[in-house]
Amino acid sequence: MSKITPLLFFLISGICFSQTKLIHGKVLYLNTYQENIDIINFNSKYMTQTNNSGDFTIEAKVGDVLIFMSERFVDQKYKLTSEDFKKPVLTITLVQKPIPLNEVEIAQVKAVKVKSVSYNDVKMAKIQKDASRPKVEGVYTGEMVNGVDFIQIGKMIGKLFKSDKSKEKKTEVVSFKDYAKSNFNESFFSKTLKVAPEDTARFIEYCDADPKSKTVIATDDELTILEFLLTKKAEFDKLK
C-alpha cells in the first residue's frame, strides 16, 4: 500500500488539477468598467460577455487561453495560471484600437480675413468724425467751416502730393516754405485746400510763422500735415 499511495496521490492530484473551474474577472479601460466585451475560452470554446459593471464569469482551467474581443479595443489573449485561480477577481486592462485615417472627419474651418487698420486709417476716421460734429455758432473750434469733403481729400491727397516726394524722414531741419515747395503742387492748394492762387504765397508764409509747422513736417506723415493745413486754413480765412 505504501508504494501505491504516492501513485494514487499524483493521479488524483492530476485529475483535480486538470478540472475546469469558474473564474471571475473584471475588464477595465482607463479605470472604467467595460460592458459587452466578448470573452472566449480558446481551448474549450466557451464564451461569455461582460455585464454593465465589467464583470464576467467563465469556466476554465490552468493553461487555458482567454481571448477578449470588441470593436473598440485590440484583441487580447491571456493565458491562465494557477495563481489566477487563487485571486478573488482577475483584472484585465484593454488597449483601445487606433482610429483609421479614413474614419477621421476633418472639419475645414474657413479663415476669417480681417482688414488691417493702419494708424493713418484711424487718423482719417478721426478727421471725418470731427468734420461731422455739430458746430456751435459763434465758437471757433479750429475746424473748416465751409463743408470740405474730407473723404474726397483722403482719396485725392496721394495724387496731389508731388510724385517725386521722398518717403525718407528728413534728417535736416527745413522751413515750412521749403517743405511746401518740395512736396505740394499748385492744385493741392487750389483744389484741396480751396486757397485762391493769389493767396497761396501768403498762406504758406502764415503756416511757416507757426512754430508747430516744424514739428509737423518733421513727422513726414501726410495725414498729420493735412490736419495741420486744414486748421491753418480755417484760421487764415478768419483773417480776411
- pLDDT per position as a tens digit, 110-151: 443 434 444 445 445 544 545 455 555 444 444 444 444 455
pLDDT for 62: 95
pLDDT at 225 over 60: yes
Mean pLDDT across the chain: 74
pLDDT at 152 over 60: no
219: part of which helix (H) or strand (E)? Answer: helix 212-219
pLDDT at 73 over 70: yes
Max avg pLDDT among 114-118, 163-167, 188-192: 188-192
pLDDT for 148: 47
* C-beta neighbour count of 15 within 10 angstroms: 9
pLDDT for 157: 54
* Contact (Cβ atoms closer than 8 angstroms) between residue 223 and residue 120: yes
Q: Which residue has the higher pLDDT, 123 or 41?
A: 41
pLDDT for 116: 46
pLDDT band at 25 (very low <50, low <70, confident <90, very high): very high
* Contact (Cβ atoms closer than 8 angstroms) between residue 165 and residue 182: yes
- b/e map 206-229, b = 16+ CB within 10 Å: bbbeeeebeebbeebebbbbbbbb
pLDDT at 163 over 50: no
Residue 182 grid coordinates: 518740395
CB neighbour class for 48 (10 Å; exposed up to 12, middle 13-18, buried from 19) = middle
Max avg pLDDT among 23-27, 142-146, 200-204, 225-229: 23-27
Q: Percent of the chain at pLDDT above 70?
A: 61
* Contact (Cβ atoms closer than 8 angstroms) between residue 148 and residue 194: yes
pLDDT band at 189 (very low <50, low <70, confident <90, very high): confident
pLDDT at 159 over 90: no
